[in-house]
Structure 1
Amino acid sequence: MRTLATTNLSGPVTEFILLGFPCRREIQILLFVVFSLIYLLTLMGNTSIICAVWSSRKLHTPMYILLANFSFLEICYVSSDVPKMLANLISQTKSISYTGCLLQFYFFFSMCAAEGLFLSVMSFDRFLAICRPLHYPTIMTHHLCAQLVIFCWVGGFLWLLTPLTLISQMPFCGPNTIDHFLCDLAPLLALSCTPVTEITLTCGIISSLIIFLTFLYILGTYCCVLSTVLQVPTGLGRQKAFSTCASHLAVVSLFYGSVMVMYVSPGSGDYHGMQKFVTLFYALATPFFNPMIYNFRNKDMKEALKKWVGGSG
């Protein structure tokens, strides 16, 4: 049986060892149970949003169509890394093939990029609804909504093609141990046999661009929304407008807060414990909280969920 000790390898690396959470066996089993429960609740919560939107004609609007696609993205997002993490918690080898590692990196970060694009499109939808209410029905049509959904999905996966291609051309000859629970960019770059300054710079620019461009766009749209809301004469109208945006802003804060701590804060990559914790937060906790944020704060969604549960019961 292979051990976790590694290793200068005599040939090219064919697999990596994901150290994950090195601790006593009892603690690993406890983590497995906790993470499994969170994973299942995440799947159930996001699936409930999709089913509620699908079953309620009242929710067949661009806002909720975007939300349903966002929930499906969260299911794919959390499933790209958590099952392997759970398997490694109860496994002795904790290995992942070279191809599997590259695919995990590509799918996880492609969906991370797609999430930023979806959050931007959802903020655009709220901007139109609040700042251009009379033009909203003619601008945000179902046709445009479908185009935006395709843009988010395709854009996220195209954005990561260049980093994937660059990493696949890097030579790995050992050691092959990744002190993480997934194939993240920084640990992979650190394992290259040769200096990869240009690749590191290129990948850093690409990842930073998607983070900052989408974040700045969302920030700009909500500055416009806030300015419009403050001009609403009645307190009730102002409260309704704030309530409409509160759920989306909470999700934006959770996602970008953790991502920026991870990839933008100076020296964040130097502390493996913090690196794992922050990655775990936006990889597992954010998709877990999203359904609760949207379901608890949205009256139409709560009513649709009650009808769906009652109809399926």
Structure 2
Amino acid sequence: MAYAVAEASLSRVLVTGGGGQLGSALAATVPPSISLRALGRADCDISNPAAVDAALDAEEPQLLINAAAYTAVDRAEEDADAAFAANGEAPGVLGEACARRGIRLIHVSTDFVFDGTRSSPYPVDAPTAPLGVYGRSKEAGERAVLDSGADALLVRTGWVYSHSGQNFLRTMLRLHGSHEEISVVSDQVGTPTDAYSLAYALWAAAARPALGGIYHWSDAGVCSWYDFAQAIGEEAHALGLLQAVARVKPIRTEDYPTPARRPAYSVLDKSLSWRDFEMPPTHWRSQLRAVLTRLKETAHG
């Protein structure tokens, strides 16, 4: 999967959250015509207006992509101040700083702003009703960006994973390799999203400066975490990454209690982004195969 950036005038991009799986994917997929500078948490405290001002003045980007987030969904229930600082306040700081300088902002949000009570994909204008602290903090960040006065585009996504870092894929590979049976919830439904697929979508959005407002992006298709866990085992075994595959036992959410409530259904309606980003939909299972192939190549490289 590769998409050319059509906006020839875009040459300088700054990414916040450069150390995360999405930030790493953006760096790995950056079009050759773009000079990218990625800042991690140690490089810039994005909740500090003075630090953000200094970074933007030093880098002078034409576009800022905010891939930084507090993503520990369960820990957020006990650490709300940190979640709201990173997810709720910092995006507003970035937005206001970008607005003052005429810098375009692309901000990444989450399917967890919804309560999961629908049975059909969430359109971009669906009412938000987050169930927990993480979702509420991301919802606050959305409002802050949209109210900042910046030329902003907001992209909601969900179930993001990659061949590196800590995520559901890596956890399932470890459990498949060490257990005969694993239990995974089967009544939470969404769409797994390859971080590289999301990165390509963000670059496609970056190439279209007239776009703004809220968009949804994930890979195509629908599955439960149970389905995803089974597919990981099957695809990894087929690629020789696993010698044996554990039995995957479906369980209900109530059988696996967690501090944070999660939406039972968080499939996003991506039709607007597929049209406006000019991105063809790719099924999540195909992307899973691509991610595992990437993992295999990295391990052997």
TM-score by length of 1: 0.26
- Bigger strand fraction: 2
- Bigger helix fraction: 1
TM-score by length of 2: 0.27
